[in-house]
Amino acid sequence: MQQALGIYGGTFNPVHFGHLALARALRDRFALSEVRLIPTGVPPHRTPDISAAQRLEWLKLSLSGEQNLVADDREVRKGNVSFTFDTLTELQQEQPHSLLVWLIGGDSFAHLPSWYRWQELLEMGHLVVANRPGFSKLPAEIAGEFAKRHAEASPQTLARGKISVLPLPLMPASSTLIREKLARGEDVSDLSPIAAILQQSGLYSKNT
């Protein structure tokens, strides 16, 4: 079987149990030896209130003890706008013999045409889409690409240019929910592995 490297990018603002569940599911479903979780340094579509360095630190803490799940700081180190196309290109250059298996949410997949060089992105590896709200209502352009490229989610179907759906139940956790609860002073211990650290930091206490 060919070498394959899992990629899961996001703002992780903040990291929650749903992120970890998705990373584990990607690793296990496709029998990946490693999944890189890559916090966005400066997102092109939105700017988090929390610094990239802080989000990276929290992610590293959350991954402590997780097997084959690794925090990758390349976008944080860059310090400028991060495009998925550039990150995947860099990873492919570093590991020319590996197939990149990159994960995005169903909501992000629906808006893929707004991404930088999105059509080329579809050819850069095997795209895995997490089944989230928004995935069932795809724009015609994306629905057509999905129909053309769809492959079952298994190690045997991994191939460049294919798209699979990760069959994982929706998690109740979301970064937005955590931020809202922290702003109200509510407990988030059932939503994030670093709940105590988040609450002690006070960094989300004034967010709405």
- Residue 79 token pair: 């310090």
Q: Which of 25, 40, 71, 64 is nearest to 170 (CA)?
A: 25
What integer pLDDT is reported at residue 177 of this predicted model?
93
What integer pLDDT is reported at residue 192 of this predicted model?
96
Asked if residue 117 lies in contact with residue 177, where contact means CB atoms within 8 angstroms, the answer is no
What integer pLDDT is reported at residue 205 of this predicted model?
85
Superfamily for 4-170? Answer: HUPs (3.40.50.620)
A 10 A CB-CB count for 195 gives 19
Check: pTM over 0.75? Answer yes or no: yes
Asked if residue 91 lies in contact with residue 7, where contact means CB atoms within 8 angstroms, the answer is yes
What integer pLDDT is reported at residue 80 of this predicted model?
85
The Cα-based distances of 47 to 10, 44, 81 in angstroms read 12, 8, 10
- Residue 78 token pair: 């860059």
CA-CA distance, 140 to 57, in Å (whole number)?
39
CA-CA distance, 115 to 43, in Å (whole number)?
11
Residue 99's DSSP bridge partners are: 4
- Residue 8 token pair: 């899961």
Buried b (16+ CB within 10 A) or exposed e, 104-141: bbbebbbbbeebeebeebbebbbbbbbebeebeebeee
pLDDT along the chain (208 residues), means of 10: 90 94 96 96 74 95 96 93 94 96 91 94 96 72 95 96 87 87 94 95 76
